[in-house]
Amino acid sequence: MKPERTSRSNRPEEPEEEAGKISVAKEVIATIAGLAASEVPGVYSPKGEPLPQGSAVQRYVHTELLEGRVRIALSVVIGYGRVLPEVAQELQEKVKTEVERLTTLPVEAVDVEVVGIVEAEERS
């Protein structure tokens, strides 16, 4: 049965099923979003390093809940030579798809803040 979703202020989503509630914490959504972001070529952490794996990526991802819908904001650095909007849109697509696939929660928007450019890509 498709779970019915309700939102709470601190606990993002609690899809309801007959057997009980399933809660997905904001941190989990942030981690999934961060992992998805790390798979996009040309995307780095604001420090100019590859995005960290696991919960460490949460510091670069902000998750917000609005009436049962998730809004995600990411701060990233993009490799020099890339077309920034193209990379940012690829990032939005990837994050939205992965979060929706793994949590079944609807993602309203993925906002991307490009805070810098790194030359690491040229070297790699």
- Which residue lies nearer to other proteins by CB, 50 or 116? 116
* Those residues with Cβ within 8 angstroms of residue 44's Cβ, 6 or more apart along the chain or in another chain: 50, 51, 76, 77, 78, 79, 118, 120
Contact flags string 87-106 toward other proteins, x per CB under 8 A:
-xx--xx--x----------
Contact flags string 62-81 toward other proteins, x per CB under 8 A:
----------x-----x-x-
Dist. CA 96–CA 87, nearest whole Å: 14
Residues that bind other proteins (CB under 8 A): 72, 78, 80, 82-85, 88-89, 92-93, 96, 109-117, 119
